[in-house]
Amino acid sequence: MNRRWIIAALALTPAAIVLPVHAVVYMSAEQARGALYPQAARFDEVSFEPSAAQQQALEQALGNAGKPRRVRGWTAYDAAGKLLGTVYIDDVIGKYELITYAVAFGAGGEVQAVEILAYRESHGQEIRLPAWRKQFVGRKSLDELRFGDQIKSISGATLSCRHVTEGVQRLAVLRGLTPAR
């Protein structure tokens, strides 16, 4: 009888092996907005679901824009009430898991910074490196945000690079479609 229990325990041992979790949260959304706009005196929350017209414009600009999903973030203002820019928080799929990132757009619509807030993949964390994220700075139009041309990939993180770039493109189009705040 004991022999059966030993055989059953040995048979179930592979199921008990737990793979390590690689999820790392680097900063919260509120920490990101403060880091991206440290000179801001005030942040006003921005949250909207793309309208049918905005979704159609996204699809025309990007091809398949996917299903509509809520955009969330903040507009940043200095002490005099002057608009500094907007921070949007978004999630994209890496290879298998979600990547949470933030994009800061200046008042003129140019990308001021991209920050990785949470990375859940086992490989490809190199997209957090400042050199890779710096490629986005100053870019405004989709022609300036093309993956493989203007935005280079990192070996071993190609899908993460591609999907974050596509996410930044999506937010850039939506930012251009929303009235200035």
The mean pLDDT of 62-66, rounded to a whole number, is 76
- Domain ranges, ordered by start, for the chain: 20-177
Of the candidate ranges 6-15, 40-49, 126-135, 136-145, the one whose mean pLDDT is the lowest: 6-15
The span from the first CA to the last CA of the chain, in angstroms, equals: 74
Residue whose pair of structure tokens reads 């930012």 in the numeric block: 175
Cα torsion at 159, 113, 92, 98 (round to 10°)?
Answer: 90
In whole angstroms, what is the distance from residue 72 CA to residue 100 CA?
12
pLDDT class for 181, splitting at 50, 70, 90?
very low
**pLDDT average, residue stretch 11-29:** 63
Count other Cβ atoms within 10 Å, centred on residue 142: 14
pLDDT at residue 39 in the model: 96
**Rounded to an integer, what distance in angstroms lies between the CA atom of residue 44 and that of residue 180?**
13
Mean of all residue pLDDT scores within the chain: 85
Whether 9 shows a pLDDT value over 80: the answer reads: no
User: Average pLDDT of 151-160?
Assistant: 90
| Angstrom distance (rounded) from CA 177 to CA 161 | 25
- The sign of the dihedral angle between the CA atoms of 157, 160, 166, 169 is negative
Mean pLDDT of 59-82: 88
For residues 106 and 13, is the Cβ–Cβ distance under 8 A? no
Over residues 10-33, the mean pLDDT reads: 68
**65 confidence band (pLDDT: 50, 70, 90):** low
CA distance 48 to 64: 20
Q: In this predicted model, which residue has the larger pLDDT, 76 or 156? A: 76
Tokens of 30: 């509120």
User: For the purposes of burial, counting CB atoms within 10 Å of the CB of 89, is it exposed (0-12), middle (13-18) or buried (19 or more)?
Assistant: buried
Model confidence band, residue 73 (pLDDT cutoffs 50, 70, 90): very high
3-class secondary-structure state, position 118: strand
Q: How far is CA 15 from CA 8, 9, 10, 94, 97, in A?
A: 12, 10, 10, 26, 22
Residues 137-153: what's their mean pLDDT? 89
Average pLDDT of span 21-48: 90
Average pLDDT of 168-179?
Answer: 85
pLDDT for position 31: 95
Of 24 and 136, more confident: 136
How far is residue 30's CA from residue 41's CA, in Å, rounded to a whole number? 14
Dist. CA 114–CA 56, nearest whole Å: 25
Q: What is the pLDDT of residue 1?
A: 53
